[in-house]
Chains A and B, each alone.
Chain A
Amino acid sequence: MTAGVVTAEWTKIRSVRSTMWSLLAFVVVAIGFSALVATVISNTWNDPGSHPNHVELVTEPRAEQDRGRVGYQLDVIVISSEYSTGAIRSSLLAVPRRIPMLAAKAGVFALLDLVVSAVTVFAVFFITTAILRSHVSITLSQPGITRACIGGILYLTVLGLFALAIGGLIRHTAGAIASVIALVLVIPPLIGLIPGTIANHIHGYLPTVAGQLIGQSSQQPADVLSPWQGFAVFCAWTAVLLVACGYLLIRRDA
């Protein structure tokens, strides 16, 4: 793999308006929604019955589902749109070896996700803490806060790769996005409904349930895994999907 292949992947991403709009929407939705939630909580701080866990409000990936929803759509689109438009033929004629192509795409996208997530997570942190300043003081030096912020960035970055792999496996944008939504939003709460410790463990090891732990500033009683264990489980899921994606890229006709 040459530097040119990596540069080309970046050119591909930046030269399509829909990906740039998705990125912008991700940042705007994430920051705007968090600021809105913080404002509402601030205004209702002293209402009876309101006990927001303020530390987690700021750092837990509470709005992650919403941020992520936009984010992983983009990652799915980055690969599935190549198939649905036929652009994959041009890409593979230029870079016929599937694994270097996938590696370049995943690498460029992970870096882009990392930067955008870092900007977003820290923007969310500083904006929400500023809104809530009159009620509570939260700083990066408090226990678990920095880890949770960095964890949120890592979670979103790996979530991007997770979605990218599914996009490469399913190859149809709508089907791939539906699958990611099912895996991230539908299946976890359903399994969470099943009582018993076995179901609880299965739930705890689901990719995004495990992955989100690293974005929490403190361990919850129901959590099966520690934050870093959870992140490792999420990374393992993602790695398996990426390997499957690479294998099928080699096996399948383009």
Chain B
Amino acid sequence: MAEPPGLIEARELTKRFGDKVAVDNLSFNVEPGRVTGFLGPNGAGKSTTMRLITGLDRPDGGTATIGGLAYSQLSKPLTRVGALLEARSLHPGRSARNHLLFLAQTQDIPAKRVDEVLDLVGLREVAGKRAGGFSLGMTQRLGIAAAMLGDPPVLLLDEPGNGLDPEGIRWVRNFMRQLAGEGRTVLVSSHLMSEMAVTADHLVVIGLGKLIADCSTEEFIERSSERSVLVRTPDSARLRELITGAGGAVQGNDGTDGMIVTGLPAPRIGELAASASLVLHELTPRLPSLEEAFMELTAGSVEFGKTESGTVGSGTGGTP
């Protein structure tokens, strides 16, 4: 195979549901050895894209391949790709162990691997219980166990932190970092920006089914124009006048909290202060958070926008 087995390639993927275009001519690569965050507002098409990659949905156009092969062409696919899509992808009447056992049998994976992955996610104690009685967090862990069953080089995780407690979220984060460190491909969708900021090395950002960004996390944040400068001065009223006079905008309070200046770079603010002989106690350029950058760069691509009175609806892609 010419392609590395861990490379995911989406080429001009398109999926329509009736009149609605869920995924629109989407092309991107997901490389091995790093965590790629898959971001987008609700309804952006993240889950649909993952379903197209794994062959659950048929694309109306384009292709998705893993190591150069369509998912349906993979022999023993669970040993090539582990996927956590929707947590409720199991029969509630079947025990966790039997769920994993039948999956293992389809791939000729020995049954002892079932116990290994149960230990891995900490479900050994409840393995004989019906999965229908599990909490969302336990169901999510079972989904991760299923994804790891075939020890695959590629992991696709759709909102893996859903329903997990802080300790569980931290566990998933470290787990994904570890998997990427072992050279695996990790594609993870999430709406938890603070979580993605510390987990993802690379981002694929989509909105309304179209690609918005495919770059490193730092680059994505830098691409945002939403730079600001934190300024502290004992003479905030005068500096505020100077800044607004020079075309900048001031947010936040005066006094000890300082003020947030946008529209002017830090050196210019320093020059303005010097020209008026104002004392500055602090002058700190601030990068936006991933969340701020995300909100800015996806502003035109929000399917269910906010009206004056608040949110009018929510997407199906995840729980806010």
Contact = CB atoms under 8 A, between A and B. Distances in A.
Interface of A: 2, 4-5, 7-9, 11-12, 15-18, 81-82, 85-87, 89-90, 92-97, 251-254
Contact of B107 (A4, A9, A85, A87): A4
A253 B58 contact: yes
21 contacts: A2-B108, A4-B105, A5-B105, A5-B106, A8-B102, A9-B102, A12-B91, A12-B94, A12-B102, A15-B102, A16-B91, A81-B91, A86-B86, A86-B88, A89-B85, A89-B89, A94-B106, A96-B72, A96-B77, A253-B51, A253-B56
A7 B91 contact: no
B56 A254 contact: yes
Nearest to A85: B91
Contacts of A4: 105-108
Contacts of A17: 93
B78 interface: yes
Q: How large is the interface on B (under 10, 10 to 19, 20 to 34, 35 or more residues)?
A: 20 to 34
A85 B78 contact: no
Contact of B91 (A87, A93, A97): A87
Given A11-B105, A96-B71, 14 more contacts: A8-B106, A15-B99, A17-B93, A86-B88, A89-B56, A89-B89, A90-B99, A90-B103, A93-B54, A93-B85, A94-B77, A94-B103, A96-B72, A253-B57
Tell me the dominant secondary structure on chain A's binding face.
helix
A86 B56 contact: no
Contact of B55 (A11, A15, A85, A96): A96
Nearest to B100: A90
Nearest to A101: B106
A92 B58 CA distance: 13
Contacts of B99: 15, 90
Most B CB within 10 A of own CB, among A17, A90, A92: A90
A29 to B, nearest CB: 21
Q: Which 5 A-B pairs have the closest CB atoms?
A: A15-B98, A8-B105, A89-B89, A11-B102, A253-B57
A222 to B, nearest CB: 44
A92 B55 contact: yes
Contacts of A94: 77-78, 103, 106-107
Contacts of A90: 89-90, 99, 103, 146
Contacts, number: 87
A87 B77 contact: no
Interface string B124-148: 0000000000000000000000100
Nearest to B85: A89
Most B CB within 10 A of own CB, among A18, A82, A86: A86
B178 to A, nearest CB: 23
Contact of B90 (A9, A86, A254): A86
Contact of B57 (A12, A81, A82, A254): A254
B101 interface: yes
Contacts of A18: 93
Nearest to B132: A85
B36 interface: no
Given A12-B102, A96-B77, A87 B72 contact: no
B86 A92 contact: no
B205 interface: no
Contacts of B83: 93
A7 B72 CA distance: 20
B77 A85 contact: no
A85 B92 contact: yes
A238 B57 CA distance: 27
B264 interface: no
B69 to A, nearest CB: 11
Most B CB within 10 A of own CB, among A7, A85, A89, A94: A94
B74 interface: yes
A82 B103 contact: no
B199 interface: no
Given A82-B91, A87-B90, A87-B91, A92 B56 contact: yes
A72 B245 CA distance: 81
A92 B78 CA distance: 10
B305 to A, nearest CB: 27
Interface in B45-73: 51, 54-58, 71-72
Contacts of A8: 102-103, 105-106
Contacts of B105: 4-5, 7-8, 11
